[in-house]
Structure 1
């Protein structure tokens, strides 16, 4: 991958992805977006000139074009190879009798609307990368959109109920993944949803069984294997295909 953009990269999984790509020398140019830069992300950027931090609140979609212009200046004719829509929010377990309108709206905005609109804004750069690498098969080495979803967005595996804001927003993101895969197939842009596992982060909590490093390593190992037959599908970090 020549270039990768990761949203929500100031902490948790997003920051873990940045660290992995740098430590494994997996990308020539890394774009990390976040609302507020963490000290750790700033420190990494100070030591690695190929890491570009973009301050971006994904809820403020009107600023997406401005971010795209900055990215375009760096990537030039090469375009953007991989967009990882990672930024997300989650409410705690929410029973039907307690769910609030603002929770539903906030989760849908960050987890569903923002990834769709950012992908739309970055589409010219993704298409550019696909054309630039037309000798390569559909893959993350050519052009790809990876939507970080959750198994809680799987309708088929929902046997607990609850979690209305988060479940609905991730199920909707999965629906967007499927539509994107159909719309972008002619451009040879791979699109997939990815469940990172239940990971020990601020969002996942300290009781989660999986550490960030194991999840990230699995995610990128799985991404490296994805091809044309995998576009429009839903995968777990370890490569297991999940039901919608």
Structure 2
């Protein structure tokens, strides 16, 4: 799929997969609008901004819907070939059945499920103008109903399963206009969220994700895709 304008909007770009994706697309010559909650404290991202003039940084808390709309208004002239919702929140670890923190559950759903839809709605005009573009949400294989054979993980699992449903609905609504919507599993990655025992490096994950995104067609809209491009069952 040809992407002549090469413009990217990405959330959660300050570390891990988001930072590596930002670096990869800048290296490929793209213009990148990258966001995180506190860019002034995102030192690796600041360093990239000094190196690449095509990188623009904005502060954004993805759970602040007014801020999302305000940023979209500020960036109204962009033509995004790609919008990546990468920002995510895992929530508590190690809890079992009967010990679910409902307050934390709400926080995780706000970040992982509600925010991606609000991003898609706010930046829909820019996506439509971008050739049209691709909306990609970083999901997780643990959100797959079919793959859930271990139980537990109620908070994070449910947020990603709900995100997958959001992406599927987006594909039905936006595909007629040429906008592709996909959910992506980046693999179990060695990041702050994934932990030191994860199976693949950030660089390996990003190389796979970029390859998947580069080769998407409209027929892929609404799919849940692994980092190697294979389809994951819902």
TM-score (norm 1): 0.90
Regions of 4+ moved over 2 Å: none
Counterpart in the other structure of 1:84: 84
Q: Which runs of 5+ in 1 are unaligned?
A: 134-141
Asked if structure 2 preserves the Cα contact closer than 8 Å seen for 1:182 and 1:232, the reply is yes
Equivalent residue for 1:163, pick from 146, 153, 156: 153
Distance (whole Å) between structure 2 residues aligned to residue 80 and residue 218 of structure 1: 21
Once the two structures are superposed, what CA deviation does each residue of 1:210-229 show, in whole Å capped at 9, x if it has no partner? 00000000001011111122
Counterpart in the other structure of 1:176: 166
Alignment pair present for 1:35 and 2:25: no
SS state at 1:156 partner: coil
Equivalent residue for 1:185, pick from 170, 175, 186: 175
TM-score (norm 2): 0.94
Per-residue deviation, 1:47: 1.7
Equivalent residue for 1:21, pick from 21, 25, 28: 25
Once the two structures are superposed, what CA deviation does each residue of 1:152-209 show, in whole Å capped at 9, x if it has no partner? 1001100111111100000000000100000001111001000000000000001101
- The count of corresponding residues between Structure 1 and Structure 2 is 227
Per-residue deviation, 1:93: 3.8
Distance (whole Å) between structure 1 residues aligned to residue 74 and residue 53 of structure 2: 15
Counterpart in the other structure of 1:143: 133
Q: How does 1:199-238 map to 2 (within 5 A)?
A: 199-238=189-228
Q: Which range moved further: 168-177 or 87-96?
A: 87-96
CA-based RMSD: 1.1
Asked if structure 2 preserves the Cα contact closer than 8 Å seen for 1:6 and 1:33, the reply is yes
Distance (whole Å) between structure 1 residues aligned to residue 35 and residue 88 of structure 2: 12
Asked if structure 2 preserves the Cα contact closer than 8 Å seen for 1:94 and 1:164, the reply is no
Counterpart in the other structure of 1:55: 59
SS state at 1:145 partner: strand
Distance (whole Å) between structure 1 residues aligned to residue 80 and residue 24 of structure 2: 19
